[in-house]
Chain A
Amino acid sequence: MDSKLTKFDRNMSAVSFAEAGEFETAAEFLAETPAAAKKAEPAAMRKPYAGMVIFGALSLSGYVALIANQKLVNEIFTMGGWHAVYPVVTALIFSFVHGAFASNLLSVLGIEAKK
């Protein structure tokens, strides 16, 4: 039913553009196959729930592990010298995991950049 309606809409739009003298636009409306339109729609609408949950769980467990072992972590991370690698690399890894979670979260909430 849905596809029929779209097809009907499409034809009517083509007619109105053709009447207005915009033949090229009218042709464009008729050329577009409903199958292609249908395919494009779910890709745009699909929300990354799985990504959000996976990255969210990873990130959260990372934070829990950090707070639970904060004494040990702080001892090792602040020794100075080559140990500088620890905080810098940890910050980078967290930003990848948590950044991916944040990105997915915003998409799930429907906040997207203007196209």
Chain B
Amino acid sequence: MKRVLFIILGFFLILPMVSPAFAGGPPPKDVMKGIFLSVDDSARTAILKKSGSEETVELVLGSGMSPGDVRINKKVMVSLDKSAGENVIKSIDIMFMDMTVNKIIALLVIGLIGGLLSGFIGSGGAFVLTPAMMSLGVPGAVAVASNMCHKFPKAMVGAYKRYKYGQADIKLGLVMASTAIIGVQIGIKIQKYILNHFGNAGSNLYVSFVFMVVLVLVGGYVLYDAYKLAKGGEEGNKVSRLALRLQNINLPPMMYFKVAKVRISAWITIPVGLFTGMLAATIAVGGFIGVPGMIYIVGASAVVASATELIIAFIMGAWGSVQWGLSGLIDIRLTLLILAGSLIGVQLGALGTTYVKDYMIKLVMASTMLIVAVSRGAKIPGYLADLNLLAPLEPQVTHVLGQVSFWALVTALASAGLIITVAMMRGMAQAKLETRREEIVSHG
């Protein structure tokens, strides 16, 4: 245990030397925070007092803005349109939405189900929490930041619980996380290249396309595997043929993972981590790649892989939170309200894994991935139209597609929550029956 602590400590000491890495992309640069002091209707300018200093700047309203959009004496986040010139406002968002009882309840419920999913399959929640917060009126960057800051303490609690159940492989988690952080850098480089060459719409299309393809292929395979295991009635600890073949490659340095019960070459483990990080930077849900990667390529069981993913989420989330915190975008009220529900959910999900068979975790993961893929797919026509590859969409069609996208996310979350709850209750009832049977036997 002492050695593990040293490894963790050393890792955190090295971390700052690696240039900033973020899961889900870096905080935006062309953003200014502060309070508008006055607005000049005729000159189309506004005076902003920057937060944290006494400095004021004069900003010019962009072409799509009207002086009425400028809210005086409220903390705002101003996105600048650097292509239109220095200090030109693209949009203004109120940074802190007003809390109402309905919004608080909504945040508690989403947090609870998101946490349940996270404790069970190792990742999840983020893909629905961010859009859900945005639909409650939170600016995008604040939603991402607040979600990131809630993710790492939640993952920590989940990882601790699952470590206690003997499911989490700390060494595998550290290796995956450190390589994933490097992968994130590569992913961001690719993103930037695409953004520079094809613009915002091109970048959106690329992200959605990769998201769709990866989720459909990986989710489909996981579903097929879960179906096969469920039908065969096996315990579900069979290691994939690919993983067995890879484990036989004796290319030093070899790594041994005690909890996962895997001995495999570092030359195989490291690319899995890199690729996870690369995709995490692109689609913002690294766990959807990390968990299947650990199952089918490294050869860990679904229980160990999903538990280990929580360690990775903790490390990457903590690092990301510091970065977003440095740009002052975390709304702590949102973070803590989601945590209120998700800390209960994550522990419930974690202990749920002790009652179900391995294929159940795969089934929940696959169905979540596939429904989330639908949500992203519904957005592709819009991006195609933005790039002039498709005739412009009717506003009605855009609206319907937007609704489909959002409700698919809600369905993904709700169905996963339902499957986990039912599976867990069944498992508990069965366990109770077994103990009673044992008692009867022992009492002769």
- Contact in complex: A74, B75 (CB < 8 Å): yes
- Contact in complex: A102, B344 (CB < 8 Å): yes
CB-CB contacts below 8 Å: A25-65 with B: 59, 63
Complex CA gap A42/B16 in Å reads: 49
Inter-chain pairs besides A78-B33, A83-B52, A102-B343, 15 sampled, C-beta below 8 Å: A13-B444, A63-B340, A77-B330, A80-B328, A84-B321, A84-B324, A86-B332, A95-B157, A99-B157, A102-B347, A103-B161, A106-B347, A111-B348, A113-B165, A113-B350
Identify B333's interface contact among A67, A80, A113, CB under 8 A. Answer: A67
Task: State whether A95 and B335 are in contact (beta carbons under 8 Å apart), knowing that A13-B442, A16-B444, A81-B326 are contacts in the complex.
Answer: no
Quick check: which of B147-155, B255-263, B285-293, B391-399 contacts chain A, the rest being far away?
A: B147-155
Residues of B within 8 Å of A106, CB to CB, are: 344, 347-348, 351
29 contacts between A and B (CB under 8 A): A12-B443, A13-B442, A13-B443, A13-B444, A63-B336, A74-B331, A74-B333, A75-B51, A75-B75, A77-B332, A78-B33, A78-B75, A78-B331, A81-B52, A81-B326, A81-B328, A83-B52, A83-B328, A84-B326, A85-B325, A91-B321, A91-B336, A98-B343, A99-B347, A102-B343, A103-B347, A106-B347, A114-B354, A114-B427
Task: State whether A88 and B99 are in contact (beta carbons under 8 Å apart), knowing that A78-B330, A98-B339, A113-B351 are contacts in the complex.
Answer: no
A2 at interface, CB cutoff 8 A: no
Identify B355's interface contact among A73, A95, A114, CB under 8 A. Answer: A114
- Contact in complex: A113, B354 (CB < 8 Å): yes
CB-CB contacts below 8 Å: B345-396 with A: 347-348, 350-351, 354-355
B: number of interface residues (CB 8 Å): 48
Complex CA gap A113/B351 in Å reads: 5
- Contact in complex: B443, A9 (CB < 8 Å): yes
- Contact in complex: B75, A90 (CB < 8 Å): no
Chain B's interface: helix, strand, loop or mixed, by majority?
helix
> What's the nearest-Cβ distance from chain A to residue B372, in Å?
25
Q: Of A12, A90, A99, which is in contact with the most chain B CB atoms at under 10 Å from its CB?
A: A99
Complex CA gap A74/B152 in Å reads: 20
Write the chain B residue with the least CB distance to A79.
Answer: B52
- Contact in complex: A70, B327 (CB < 8 Å): no
Task: State whether A70 and B75 are in contact (beta carbons under 8 Å apart), knowing that A78-B330, A81-B328, A102-B343 are contacts in the complex.
Answer: no
Residues of A within 8 Å of B296, CB to CB, are: none
- Contact in complex: A111, B343 (CB < 8 Å): no
Complex CA gap A78/B33 in Å reads: 9
- Contact in complex: A99, B343 (CB < 8 Å): yes
